[in-house]
Structure 1
Amino acid sequence: DACILGGLGAILVYAIATVTGTQGPAQPAAPAFDSHTYALFLGTSVFAFEGVALVVPIHESLSRKDQARFPKVFSLTIGAIVVFFLCFAESVVAAIGPSLHPVVTVDLPAREAWVVAVQAGYCVALMLTFPLMLFPAVQIMERYATPSLLLSKRSPLASERKWRKNAFRTAMVLATAGISIAAADELGNFVSLVGALCCSPLGFVFPALFHLKLVARDARTKALDIALLVFGISISVFTTIISIATWSPDPPAHSICP
């Protein structure tokens, strides 16, 4: 977290200094609305809901006193994050202009010490958080990957079971690395696609569906749930189509993946 916050702070300071400095904002300025790629913004925004599944477990782990305060704290936190995202994005776009890449560190001044420190910090943060993010998914996949992974720990083949699991997890790491390399030059489309296919159901479709089936009683509440359900499905379908349609088969002139 410290590496990520430090990197964001350094980039934000650089962007503000560039905009307010002698050079002024980037020329030409980025368009206020891009009719060709605006759908990618929707998918990327929905991608922010990737951690929404942790809200209920966090709430349930709190004491009753803290649970009563949780909605207010949660709302203030989300609001602060949204404001920061808006300020950060506007500042960086104003400083760099329409040539901005999905990975903003590509557009920073090359070979400067603070830029190298920011890039190294993000690498460290990625290496430390990747196992935490992958482990729950791997645990679920191991249950269905192959029966040999389900051998009892007391089985004579327990050692073989351990090595099979290690091999499976290694394969998953290599697979995710391969996907990352393949999608690096179209990161915006890839993130938008993941947001549309995975995060939109988590953030809109499933909560609305569960609330509709388990909680909603009056017509107004049911109508709101149905509206949210339709909204989530629409965002998912529309953004998926646009993300695939705008995926360029040719690598860009300035690749972010050396």
Structure 2
Amino acid sequence: MDSPTQEPTKGVELKVMAPEGLNSAPIPPATMSTQRLRNEDYNDYSSTEVSPTETPSNGLDNFSNSSSYQRFGEVNGTTRLQTLIHLLKGNIGTGLLGLPLAVKNAGILLGPLSLIVMGIVATHCMGILVKCAHHFCRRLHKPFLDYGDTVMYGLEASPSSWLRTHSLWGRRIVSFFLVVTQLGFCSVYFVFMADNFKQVVEAANGTTNNCHNNETVLPIPTMDSRLYMLTFLPFVVLLVFIRNLKALTLISVLANITMLASLIMIYQHIVQGIPDPRNLPLAANWKTYPLFFGTAIFAFEGIGVVLPLENKMKDPRHFPGILYLGMTIITLLYITLGSLGYLQYGAAIQGSITLNLPNCWLYQSVKLLYSIGIFFTYSLQFYVPAEIINPFFVSRVTERWALVVDLSVRIVMASLTCALAILIPRLDLVISLVGSVSSSALALIIPPLLDITTYYSEGMSPIIITKDILISLFGFVGFVVGTYQAIYELIQPNVSPTFSNVTSAFVQ
């Protein structure tokens, strides 16, 4: 039994001889930037311990084996329940509220069936990423690898000399899509907050205490939603000035509480008085299906949190069960909210189901509560691109100017997300575009290709190779078609009618 490797000194670059034919190259100092390690007392308690008799290519079977993966500092790790909660939080956001419109774009039968398939494939790709990361942890005797490093080492293990030579680009590509995805989420948050606050303000004079009245309230026009976005920007900038992840813990708790309360109230409303579903098409026009794909993969794109969550568990042997349980809950949540929301509002469904809620103070408060939760979540989503981009600029100035440069970059990035939201103020199309462009790459395209480059030289079944190629092609086709359709819808004049708050799609 190999002895556990000691945790490397923080912020120090180590050089090791890469075993089993991997290129000998400098290993970056863990998954956090040097700036983050200076600012935080961050401890990585994970470690690997492998038996000489074990075969790394056994995948998740080895992952579940008690002798294949050990941890240091178990007392400080997260429990199974805590990990499950974090996994749920990492996958539930504004994408969930856009799923009723996504089901409309697919059809009342085809939509839920497609969500089941999407959930199975996305979960399988998460499992592939975990399997490949553990494979290289064992080979390199490293305690932990993030998404980008796993892809880099996967390319180094490839039989192609060209891929091995350009393996560093694997990490750069993953970092690029992570930045695009997270900043895309932040742009969606601006549009979401603006739309919901604007609707609450416009309908304030017609808002009542009667939540069972089906009358539609004519809103009083106020300022444009883009002006609301500019109003939120200074507060968002102040929020992203929080640089310590530990300081965001309370913010995360507040976001969870407000969003959970809002979801409970949304569910208790949409299950009441569901109209006859026979009036809805089983399958929608094929031209709108790419918009469904973009919204669905946007909702399922939680692959970036998988490895960090597994790394922080007290006993990572239980992570596969937590992953499959959590993704099952998430898939059922997506299917029920998407289907019930579309059944309740029909053709009147909007980009976020909150925009369809009745004009009474109870449901107006739901919009405000969820918007507050999204506001706090902005800082958490912003943290990832800040950790990737800021060190590039901070490392080029003296320590005296480091804080000024760091805050300046944060202001620019927050302003950029606001500018993108102003340029594309349609919530449904922003979600679909971000999902098609970046989420499909991280969640569907890269993991199957990583599986092939990691295990091909060790012998892979032709069935597994075919399966990986088909999944990657599925993601690529969705990427191309979904992006095209979202851009096409953006440049077309908006001729669809605007539906105010209605409590049912079939109000007479």
> Do Structure 1 and Structure 2 share a fold, with TM-score over 0.5?
yes
Q: Distance in 1 between matches of 2:384 and 2:429?
A: 25
Runs of 4+ deviating beyond 6 Å: none
Match of 2:51 in 1: none
Q: Which runs of 5+ in 1 are unaligned?
A: none
Pairing partner for 1:79 from 313, 321, 328: 328
Pairing partner for 1:215 from 455, 478, 481: 455
Call closer, same or farther: CA 1:176–1:149 in 2, change over 3 Å.
farther
**Per-residue Cα deviation, 1:178-198 (whole angstroms, up to 9, x for no partner):** 22233232x222211111111
Q: CA deviation at 1:246?
A: 2.3
Match of 1:32 in 2: 282
The answer to whether residue 357 in structure 2 is matched with residue 108 in structure 1 is yes
Q: Distance in 2 between matches of 1:90 and 1:180?
A: 27
1:185-204 equivalence runs, <5 A: 185=426, 187-204=427-444
Q: CA deviation at 1:254?
A: 3.0
What is the number of residues matched between the two proteins? 240
Tell me the secondary structure at the aligned position of residue 17 of structure 1. coil
Call closer, same or farther: CA 1:138–1:255 in 2, change over 3 Å.
farther
**Per-residue Cα deviation, 1:129-181 (whole angstroms, up to 9, x for no partner):** 1111112202322244x5x663242xxxx1x3322321221121122122223
Identical aligned residues as a percent: 21
Q: How high is the TM-score relative to the length of structure 2? A: 0.44
Kept in 1, the 8 Å contact 2:440–2:478? The answer is yes
Tell me the secondary structure at the aligned position of residue 101 of structure 1. coil
Kept in 2, the 8 Å contact 1:189–1:246? The answer is yes
Q: Which runs of 5+ in 2 are unaligned?
A: 1-255, 501-508
Q: Distance in 2 between matches of 1:104 and 1:233?
A: 29
Q: CA deviation at 1:76?
A: 1.8
**Per-residue Cα deviation, 1:195-249 (whole angstroms, up to 9, x for no partner):** 1111111111111121111124223322222222222212211211122122254
Tell me the secondary structure at the aligned position of residue 98 of structure 1. helix
More contact order relative to length (CA 8 Å, sep ≥ 6): 1
1:1-258 equivalence runs, <5 A: 1-19=256-274, 24-25=275-276, 29-35=279-285, 36-63=287-314, 66-110=315-359, 112-144=360-392, 146=393, 150-153=396-399, 158=400, 160-185=401-426, 187-216=427-456, 217-218=459-460, 219-251=462-494, 253-254=497-498
Tell me the secondary structure at the aligned position of residue 4 of structure 1. helix
Higher helix share: 1
Q: Distance in 2 between matches of 1:94 and 1:194?
A: 26
Tell me the secondary structure at the aligned position of residue 440 of structure 2. helix
